Chains A and B, each alone.
Chain A
Amino acid sequence: MIEKVKFFLRLTGNNLWQFRTRNLFSVTIICLSFLTVGIFMSLSNNLRDTARELSSNMSVAFYLEPGLSPAASDAIRQEISKPAFVESVKSVTPAEALERFRTSFPELADIVAGLKGNPFPPSLELRVNAKASASKEVVAFVEGMKKRPGVTDVLFNQDWVEKMQGFSRLAGAIGAFLGGILILTSFFIISNVVKLNVFARKNEIEILRMVGGTNLFIRIPFWLEGITLGLLGSLLSLGLLFIVIRLFPVYLGASLGALQELLRFRYPDLTQAIALLCGGAATGFIGSATSVSKFLKV
């Protein structure tokens, strides 16, 4: 058994080397296809993580009517503290809001200094626990509170979370679509390369049949070739993906400005890397198996 495995591996190695130019071509195509999938996957990873980060820090700001009595303010505070998804509630006075503005936007200090009064209304800041963030329950509650007397406006960052999640899904879908087309292309290329190899080795196949080689014995080297090409292509794409992720911020990062955060790539995790490799191997195997079964009538 071990002898047979060694024999097949040796044979596969020899065959890959014998037709190295066309094999290199198919490895390149597989590599580019999986690199495309990988790039969109890592972009999607980033958007998903950003959406997760946003939703875990989700807060709702309830702006109160200026001059609202402390009793009325307390009543609202008690009301918004009730739901189970509320983690904490914090009162922000107009003075605190002004101070926050000064700290956040130091370049606008002149405008702040020119103000006659404090334009910021008092507010209540509510933190939602991560599990319930952006749930229908929270949205319904916020909508209800908008109509409550004493509350002038509500600021809720749920829209951002939804947008991020949407972008993440879109990036994933584009990746899957483009990657799918390219993987299909590489599947056909492998299939054709193996077909060419089958034709080029027709004489050898004939000899193997003649000396009593089984169908499996004749087919295994072709399958192994397909798997090796697929694995090499996807491994190379993984390497290139790491280089792209590393070099992207260096060359393009700064010029993207505010988009930099959104377009930041994240390294694929181990599961994704293994999935890419397995995808490569599977593409190679299916490509060669269909070709062999179609063109190798043994």
Chain B
Amino acid sequence: MIELFHIWKQYQKPYWALSDVTLQIDDGDFYFITGPSGSGKTTLLRTIFREILPTEGQILINGINILKIHDNRIYTLRRTMGIVFQDFRLMFHRTVFDNVAVPLQVVGVGRKEIRRRVFNTLQKVNLHQKMWELPAHLSYGEQQRVAIARAVVNNPEIILADEPTGNLDPELAFEIVTLFKEFNKQGATVIIGSHDRELIRHFGDNILFLQKGKIVGKEAHG
């Protein structure tokens, strides 16, 4: 469970990127965070990922205050999460396999096991036949699927995605969110930051509306 208590974040005075955000996301939830550009979607996701620290407030993940985790121990938190960005953030000089294998190599999984898990994950995103290709040779949609495969290969409890469909056409965007939905069905909590109304209308179980850093609305359809 992810709990945010009165989160405030200020990058520059007098503007608040997040203003008094209080939120509870249960295990297995599928959440959309939406709002116009600059509403605080990315800041909120980065705060949950502990990439940035809030100016005020507390964040508990499974009862642990992640703001109290020492900088040297953040990796323990990151290993329980998978993150996907709009710009994919792939290693373009490494093969698809290498890109997806990274989270497993980091935790010291054996080579055979890595091969098995990477292949299975790539099969889920339908990229197993392009395992040995370089990401540069893939389409945008395929590159985003590589990024998703990397985010889920370690079976994370939480998947965060910041505008994962921002660079994709509507058809590919649907395909990508369908993938997230499948991983959600398998038990992962998924939080997607997006301003694509069509997608949100179609997939949104829980929707959080942000404006100027404030929660201005919540919808639950689940």
Query: Closest 9 interchain pairs by CB?
Result: A212-B79, A212-B78, A211-B103, A212-B75, A213-B106, A214-B75, A204-B91, A3-B110, A4-B108
How many Å lie between the Cα of A16 and that of B128 in the bound state? 29
How many Å lie between the Cα of A52 and that of B83 in the bound state? 70
Using CB atoms, name the residue of chain A closest to B153. A211
Instruction: Given A203-B91, A204-B91, A206-B89, verify A211-B108 contact (CB < 8 Å).
Output: no
B102 touches A211 (CB 8 A): yes
B91 touches A211 (CB 8 A): no
Q: Looking at B72, B75, B89, B103, which has the most chain A CB atoms within 10 Å of its CB? A: B75
Could you tell me the dominant secondary structure of chain A's interface residues?
helix
Q: Is B12 an interface residue (CB 8 A)?
A: no
Q: Is A215 an interface residue (CB 8 A)?
A: yes
How many Å lie between the Cα of A211 and that of B78 in the bound state? 6
Q: Is A210 an interface residue (CB 8 A)?
A: yes
Instruction: Given A203-B91, A215-B72, verify A209-B108 contact (CB < 8 Å).
Output: no
Choose one: B77, B102, B103, B111; the contact of A3 (CB below 8 Å). B111
How many Å lie between the Cα of A3 and that of B112 in the bound state? 10
Chain A residues in the interface with B (C-beta under 8 A): 1, 3-4, 6-7, 18, 203-204, 206-215, 217
Q: Is B76 an interface residue (CB 8 A)?
A: yes
How many Å lie between the Cα of A18 and that of B110 in the bound state? 25
Q: Is B69 an interface residue (CB 8 A)?
A: no
Interface size on B, residues (CB 8 A): 22
Using CB atoms, name the residue of chain B closest to A11. B105
Chain B residues with CB below 8 A from A212, complex form: 75-79, 103, 106-107
A207 touches B91 (CB 8 A): yes
How many Å lie between the Cα of A6 and that of B109 in the bound state? 12
Within 8 A of A (CB), among B140-162: 150, 154
Q: Is B68 an interface residue (CB 8 A)?
A: no
Nearest Cβ in chain A — how far from B101, in angstroms? 9
B106 touches A211 (CB 8 A): yes
Q: Is B93 an interface residue (CB 8 A)?
A: yes
Chain B residues with CB below 8 A from A207, complex form: 89-91, 102
Chain A residues with CB below 8 A from B89, complex form: 203, 206-207, 210
Nearest Cβ in chain B — how far from A17, in angstroms? 10
Chain A residues with CB below 8 A from B75, complex form: 209, 212-214
How many Å lie between the Cα of A208 and that of B93 in the bound state? 15
B83 touches A210 (CB 8 A): yes
Choose one: B72, B90, B110, B150; the contact of A211 (CB below 8 Å). B150
Chain B residues with CB below 8 A from A209, complex form: 75, 78
How many Å lie between the Cα of A204 and that of B110 in the bound state? 21
How many Å lie between the Cα of A74 and that of B108 in the bound state? 87
How many Å lie between the Cα of A217 and that of B105 in the bound state? 10
Give 1 or 0 for each of B107-137: 1 = CB within 8 Å of chain A CB: 1111100000000000000000000000000
How many Å lie between the Cα of A9 and that of B108 in the bound state? 14
How many Å lie between the Cα of A4 and that of B91 in the bound state? 20
Chain B residues with CB below 8 A from A4, complex form: 108
How many Å lie between the Cα of A56 and that of B105 in the bound state? 63
Using CB atoms, name the residue of chain A closest to B108. A4
Nearest Cβ in chain B — how far from A159, in angstroms? 64
Q: Looking at A7, A204, A211, A217, which has the most chain B CB atoms within 10 Å of its CB? A: A211
Chain B residues with CB below 8 A from A211, complex form: 78-79, 102-103, 106, 150, 154
